[in-house]
Amino acid sequence: MSKTAESHPNLRIRNKELDLSTPKVMGILNVTPDSFSDGGEYNHKQTALQRIEEMIVQGAEIVDIGGESTRPGSDPVSVDEESSRVLPVLKVAIERFQNIFFSVDTTKYDVARPALEAGAHIINDVSGLQKEPRFSELCAEFNAGYVLMHSQGDPKTMQDNPEYRDVISDITGFLGRQIEILEKKGVVSVFVDPGIGFGKTLQHNLKIISGLHKFTKFGYPVLMGASRKSMIGKILEDRPADGRLAGTLAVHYHSLLNGAKILRVHDVQEASDSIQVFNAIVSAEDR
């Protein structure tokens, strides 16, 4: 791994270039009835499309569409069910919003392939190739981006008793091995996500965030997704999901300071504002 943290300022994803000279916002669109924060709000095509348009106006350059909840304790859904939630929205959105990158949050090959055939740009895989190793070949075939996320266990049981010898070295070791697989298969656009809340205790999550700069060593953009997650609720004395915005902004701003290039968020306007302020401060330092 000879790459440096700045070796991928821009990523060529399918026929589009993602400029990462400054951080970008990935807006979350859950077309599910049971996601932890916004389940049921956007599981109809028209409301989903309205939300996509709203996120774009607020500053999202990537929209991540998910049809299966991965919250702790959630049950899996069938390929047919997930496809019926994701693909109708995706197909119309790609046609309507042609300047935006669309990501599909899935661990299923038979959801990912038709999504890429429909024009999706990125596959966001919470299992990091563990559930579907063929994603490496699939993303190479379409010249698609791939979000490599670390998780321990599956959503149903991942928070039962997560354990690590050393959380940072264990996760970076896993990511390094998976990156080698992706590179050998020809995937050139990779996003690295340490997987906040996926098989981690509160202390594990805090160590990851405080040591986030260690994940930039692979030379690929680091994605941070802590939006409204339970770790913030625990810090704020059992605050519910709709009261975690300030905590989310604090985590994400700290992540920007430590090298994050993508913020995956529910609250797009606030994330975009924080990046605008971050960029202004960084520009002042460079003068």
Instruction: Give the separation between CA 138 and CA 135, rounded to whole angstroms.
Output: 5
Strands (E), the chain: 10-13, 16-19, 24-30, 62-66, 101-105, 122-125, 145-149, 190-193, 222-224, 260-265
Contact at 8 Å (CB) between 223 and 192?
Answer: yes
N-to-C CA span, the chain: 32
Task: Write down the catalytic residue from 108, 185, 261, 264.
Answer: 264
Active-site residue, from 108, 229, 244, 261: 229
In the residue annotation, 108 being an active-site residue is answered as no
Please say whether the beta carbons of 83 and 114 come within 8 A. yes
Cα separation, 133 vs 86, whole angstroms: 21
- State yes or no: is 165 an active-site residue: no
Instruction: Give the catalytic positions in this structure.
Output: 229, 264
